[in-house]
Amino acid sequence: MHFISHLSAVLALAPLLSLASSAGLVERADDASCILTASGGDDGPIFVDAVQRCETVVIPAETTLSIATGMNMTGLNDRNIDLRGTVKFTDNMTYWINNGFYFEFQDQIAFWMLGGNNLRLFGGGAIDGSGQVWYDAFATNDTLLRPILFTVYQASNVVIEDIKMLNGPEWINFVNEGQNILYDRINISAVSTSVNPAKNTDGWDIYRSDNVVILNSNINNGDDCVSLKPNSTNIIASYLYCNGSHGISVGSLGQYAGVYDIVENFTSTNVHMYNAENGARIKAFAGPGVGAGIVKNVSFSYFTEGNVDDPLVIDQCYMTNATECAAYPSNVYIQDVVFTNFYGTSSGNEKSVVASLACSPDGRCSDISVSNIYLEPPATYGNATYTCQNVNITGNAAYLFGDCATT
């Protein structure tokens, strides 16, 4: 908070210097700090320019920046964005479909890329994606490209904290080729107000990144709460409240022939998961022509769940049936996985089944431990049941699954 008091002091004393051609948009408070307010038009280029020029850009609480052009804020060094107000993207779908920043990975486009070294975005304000028009359009066009709300791209030593992320058209956060990235106290809400759901609004997707930490956040959305895509290493996703999501997900991995996917060292603890498809999940493709990879050293602990379809899942036969999975097992090996201290209730969508560990044949899952499991289905389904195939399970809840060495 040192900077804030310094800024206030300077503001009180110094005449403000205008940087932008149209007066009053960017005001220099001192050598390092600028205040950015709305221009009435497209604030995108002014915002990008301000971040390049000023070590700290302050967006005051009463300001809503309207962003009508993609913001490429990559290649920055030592920058702070103190977002107290709102950054709102326009709902001009034609523009964004043709001008969003393109990522080949899963055919994605993005509104805003932040990258470089030693960056901080904070301040209690909001990023608003005007998602409703996209949710409605996607209902009649399932190939519609929809922009990711906020992308951290080729970045290191980044802190994103105390920010609201509202109604992203698609994924909310994408961490692509990042190292040492912390997200703390992020509130995500992507909820449709029409009959058309807010689809694919993943809270976080992590890809080709190392040491990403997500803490103390509330997520209300319509797809994965946190998803570890290929090459996510040393990741923590903890102290989260997820509602309406598809869970904390490792994968899907091993989708593409010739590609090797790694997830290693992942911890997720103290997660509250409600009204979700999954609680904790690891998912890898099987079938002809799939890729390969490894999931190693993953720990899910202290999950409290309510109304969750599949509270605890490994699916190493994703997109196949048992026959096909036996013929074409997954080449993504899954090793050293701990599920411990799971509480709560399933939705009954899987009747009495509350946990499922389905592995490909030939010992492709190993060292899978399950302990302290207190999950129940809704009362109408009776006692909880547990399913498994092709896996030796250890831990004090292994007995619940019975003999899983074959199907």
Ligand X SMILES: *[C@@H]1O[C@H](CO)[C@@H](O)[C@H](O)[C@H]1NC(C)=O
Closest distance between ligand X and the C-beta of residue 144, in Å? 4
Site residues for ligand X, 95-114, by CB under 6 A, read 95, 97-98, 101
Q: Could you say whether residue 92 binds ligand X (CB under 6 A)?
A: yes
- The first and second tokens of residue 113, run together, are 């890329």
Closest distance between ligand X and the C-beta of residue 66, in Å? 11
Catalytic: 246?
yes
Q: Could you say whether residue 387 binds ligand X (CB under 6 A)?
A: no
Q: Could you say whether residue 33 binds ligand X (CB under 6 A)?
A: no
Indicate which single residue of 324, 343, 348, 395 sits in contact with ligand X (rule: CB under 6 A): 324
Q: Could you say whether residue 117 binds ligand X (CB under 6 A)?
A: no
Q: Could you say whether residue 382 binds ligand X (CB under 6 A)?
A: yes
Q: Could you say whether residue 390 binds ligand X (CB under 6 A)?
A: yes
Closest distance between ligand X and the C-beta of residue 287, in Å? 8
Closest Cα to residue 365, out of 289, 403, 314, 306? 314
Indicate which single residue of 156, 233, 252, 345 sits in contact with ligand X (rule: CB under 6 A): 233
Site residues for ligand X, 303-322, by CB under 6 A, read 321
Catalytic residue (one of 30, 82, 246, 315): 246
| Gap between the Cα atoms of 315 and 43, Å rounded | 46
Indicate which single residue of 209, 220, 268, 301 sits in contact with ligand X (rule: CB under 6 A): 220
Q: Could you say whether residue 261 binds ligand X (CB under 6 A)?
A: yes
Site residues for ligand X, 133-152, by CB under 6 A, read 141, 143-145
Q: Could you say whether residue 367 binds ligand X (CB under 6 A)?
A: no
Site residues for ligand X, 151-210, by CB under 6 A, read 162-164, 185, 187, 208
Residues whose CB is less than 8 angstroms from the CB of residue 131 and which lie 6 or more positions away in sequence, other chains included: 166, 167, 168, 169, 190, 192, 198, 201
Q: Could you say whether residue 380 binds ligand X (CB under 6 A)?
A: no
Closest Cα to residue 372, out of 350, 336, 344? 344
Binding window for ligand X (CB under 6 A); candidates: 3-11, 13-21, 247-255, 390-398: 390-398
Q: Could you say whether residue 45 binds ligand X (CB under 6 A)?
A: no
Q: Could you say whether residue 265 binds ligand X (CB under 6 A)?
A: yes
Catalytic: 367?
no
Closest distance between ligand X and the C-beta of residue 155, in Å? 12
Q: Which is nearer to ligand X, 133 or 259 (CB)?
A: 259
Q: Which is nearer to ligand X, 29 or 73 (CB)?
A: 73
- Total residues binding ligand X (CB under 6 A): 47
Q: Could you say whether residue 132 binds ligand X (CB under 6 A)?
A: no
| Gap between the Cα atoms of 171 and 389, Å rounded | 33
Q: Could you say whether residue 369 binds ligand X (CB under 6 A)?
A: no
| Gap between the Cα atoms of 69 and 110, Å rounded | 11
Question: Catalytic residue numbers?
Answer: 223, 246
Q: Which residues bind ligand X (CB under 6 A)?
A: 72, 74-75, 92, 94-95, 97-98, 101, 124, 141, 143-145, 162-164, 185, 187, 208, 218, 220, 230-231, 233-234, 243-244, 259-262, 264-265, 267, 275, 297, 321, 323-324, 363, 382-383, 390-392, 405
